[in-house]
Amino acid sequence: MEEDRKKVVCIEDELEMIELVKLILGRSKFDVTGAVGGHEGLQKIGDIKPDLVLLDLMMPEMDGWEVYQKMKASENMRDIPVIVVTAKAQSIDRVLGLHIARVDDYITKPFGPQELLDSVERVIRSHSTERAA
């Protein structure tokens, strides 16, 4: 049943957070690939063509919004769902993320394992049904 595993790319500047996400999602049916920073993240997305991207907003060099804009401008990446995972918990950021940028979900750090898992499963499930329709 290995082929049923969904692929997730986690773009984050903190290795500990990538390891935490791998631990949480790896126990379920997800193959998580970590990418440190936006440039590496975009490269991994292009190579792997994941089912979902977990994206940190606050990163040096290329922040998450820049990564998101590059994804949406790319023919090969624009349909990949994105969940923003960030410490920026202000409501304006949430409004920007969900309603203006149209990310698929928004999780604030620190988050619980179940919250992350629920969000990932919900977004992948809703994205799968959209493509089937």
CATH no. for residue 53? 3.40.50.2300
What's the pLDDT at 97? 53
Residue pair 11/67 in contact (Cβ under 8 Å)? The answer is yes
Rg (CA), the chain: 14
Q: Kindly state the tokens that stand for 32.
A: 């998580």
Q: Kindly state the tokens that stand for 55.
A: 């994206």
Q: What is the mean pLDDT of the chain?
A: 87
What's the pLDDT at 2? 47
Domain count, the chain: 1
Q: What pTM did the predictor assign?
A: 0.89
The predicted-structure confidence for 117-129, as pLDDT tens digits, reads as follows: 999 999 999 988 7
Domain around 69:
2-132
Q: Is the pLDDT of residue 78 over 50?
A: yes
Strands 105-108 and 6-12: unpaired
Q: Is the pLDDT of residue 90 over 60?
A: no
Burial of 8 (C-beta count, 10 Å sphere; 0-12/13-18/19+): buried
How far apart are the C-alpha atoms of 61 and 8, rounded to whole Å? 22
